[in-house]
Amino acid sequence: MRAAVIGAIASAFAPAAMASSHREAPFVTQSPKVDGTDFYMFRSYESGRANFVTLIANYIPLQDAYGGPNYFAMDPNALYEIHIDNNGDAKEDLTFQFRFTNTNKDTKLTVGGKQVSIPLVINGGAIAGPNAAGANVRETYTVNVVRGDRRTGAKAAVTNAADGTSTFDKPLDNIGNKSIPNYAAYAAAHVYSVNIPGCSTPARMFVGQRKDPFVVNLGETFDLVNIKAPATEFSANAEKAAKDDLADKNVTSIEIEVAASCLTATGSSDPVIGGWTTASVRQARLLNPTPNTSTASKEGGAWTQVSRLGMPLVNEVVIGLKDKDTFNSSKPSGDAQFATYVTNPTLPALIEILYGSAGAKAPTNFPRNDLVAAFLTGVKGLNQPATVVASEMLRLNTSTPAVAMGAQNRLGVIGGDNAGFPNGRRPGDDVVDIALRVVMGKLCTLNLGCAPADAPAGGLHFTDGAYLDDSYFTAAFPYLKTPIAGSPQTSGVTSARSKP
């Protein structure tokens, strides 16, 4: 009987798999190009950039570096967006909209007197810069900033500060060292200084493949949550006991670094902003029975949102399976429909069933006001806006000073570092360990929304054993590491995850 119960619990818990938002809902698994995997929003900690906020929206999960011949272009029929709410009403006030275009240059070789199209994205010569002659495919994008409602608000183009153009090149994925001998320099050539209409300070922007920054012990989670039981004492060995199952994966990043003053509300003294990313596709699609490169399908109708991501792990371990697709199509202003998943969460109860013998007792305070603060309103005195409409999004107090790389605490706020998660999210914040501890009552031990007596396991050191801190990243924009190369082959992935 116990085996059957554990199996049922594992089947409920494992699909979420703590993989941030990698394949988190049934419908979006059918469309990986619009699957948002992680969203980051933090005060820039690069030297000299203290007045900026970096926004990173990652898409297309579980990219194998060797995934040719087509690799991982973004969807030209989709709309990718990053939204900012700067007055606390759970509605977007500022939206950055990204659209992509893929151009097949159709390079041909003369074979037996005939011109024949080649099958590869590289036409035979190594490449080093944007739109290189050796690239057989060119991927470009445009960006609009929308003020007010994302569909009806005033829209204006983001432009290149160097030449005033509004079309930007996205680098090819890291095919391999022969095709792109110095990928780091090649990618750096695609970092643009840009002008945002309505903002007097130039921003920086990069869109391209990166090493997946998320770290998680994925396989053992699937195996009946086969991770170490929580301990009463801190153990560095326990927090590093498992391997990162995403260590050999890449992801595609949309990154923009904007002056904080351009994100907060004009004329307001409130420094708190909320942010989330979405992807939408057209409502209708007609498949072409005789397709070619540019006419495989015809898209039309209204934009329909299919992916949403603000706080990490929400749609994975908070939202019930039956509502995961609904959540992905929803807006923060409609989050009252999901409130019970936060006030009466199932994850702590599942953990108690699996690890109750190790003292992992679920918190007893209902409603879970500590989780409401963390996920829906922001924590008072930390990142709660002056006006509060309960809604799920990542919230950042832009007046909290950034903490330099090397001094950041991987556990963010519960580790004593108020510049970290859930006050925004930095790449080096280990949100899996943080989330496990928070859902089991860590905030109660700090008297935030509940009392220590409400959380018998609030002081336990929950961990999935896959370690992450700020040393796994770089100290400058775009922060995320160079993606793993598809070639040459290596005997392992240790070097890919090694610290810079």
Contact 345, 368 (CB under 8 A): yes
- Would residue 220 count as lying in a domain? yes
The 3-state DSSP class for residue 63 equals strand
- Would residue 496 count as lying in a domain? no
pTM of the model: 0.92
Beta bridge partners of 82: 96, 277
The 3-state DSSP class for residue 322 equals helix
Q: How many CB atoms lie within 10 A of CB 316?
A: 22
What is the domain range of residue 117? 28-454
Which helix or strand (DSSP H or E) is residue 151 part of?
A: none
- Would residue 480 count as lying in a domain? no
Question: CB-hemisphere CA count at 13 Å for 485?
Answer: 16
pLDDT tens series, the chain, 500 aa: 334 333 433 333 333 334 455 666 556 667 889 999 999 999 999 999 999 999 999 999 999 999 988 899 999 999 999 999 999 999 999 999 999 999 999 999 999 999 999 999 987 778 999 999 999 999 999 999 999 999 999 999 999 999 999 999 999 999 999 999 999 999 999 999 999 999 999 999 999 999 999 998 776 665 655 667 777 777 777 788 778 888 999 999 999 999 999 999 998 999 999 999 999 999 998 988 888 766 788 889 999 999 999 999 888 778 888 998 898 899 999 999 999 999 999 989 988 988 888 889 999 999 999 999 999 999 999 999 999 999 999 999 999 999 999 999 999 999 999 999 999 999 999 999 999 999 999 999 999 889 999 999 999 998 888 999 999 999 999 999 999 999 998 755 544 444 44
Q: What are the tokens at 161?
A: 């500060």
Those residues with Cβ within 8 angstroms of residue 477's Cβ, 6 or more apart along the chain or in another chain:
44, 46, 49, 54, 191, 204, 206, 255, 257
Q: What are the tokens at 132?
A: 């290189």
DSSP 8-state class, residue 375: I
CA distance 456 to 385: 30
- What's the residue count for the chain? 500
Query: CA torsion 458→463→464→469, rounded to 10°?
Result: 130
- Would residue 183 count as lying in a domain? yes
CA distance 277 to 429: 19
The 3-state DSSP class for residue 353 equals helix
Q: What are the tokens at 488?
A: 């040459």
- Would residue 383 count as lying in a domain? yes
Domain count, the chain: 1
- Would residue 290 count as lying in a domain? yes
Those residues with Cβ within 8 angstroms of residue 429's Cβ, 6 or more apart along the chain or in another chain:
408, 410, 411, 412, 420, 421, 468
Q: How many CB atoms lie within 10 A of CB 288?
A: 11
CA distance 486 to 477: 24
- Would residue 486 count as lying in a domain? no
- Would residue 160 count as lying in a domain? yes
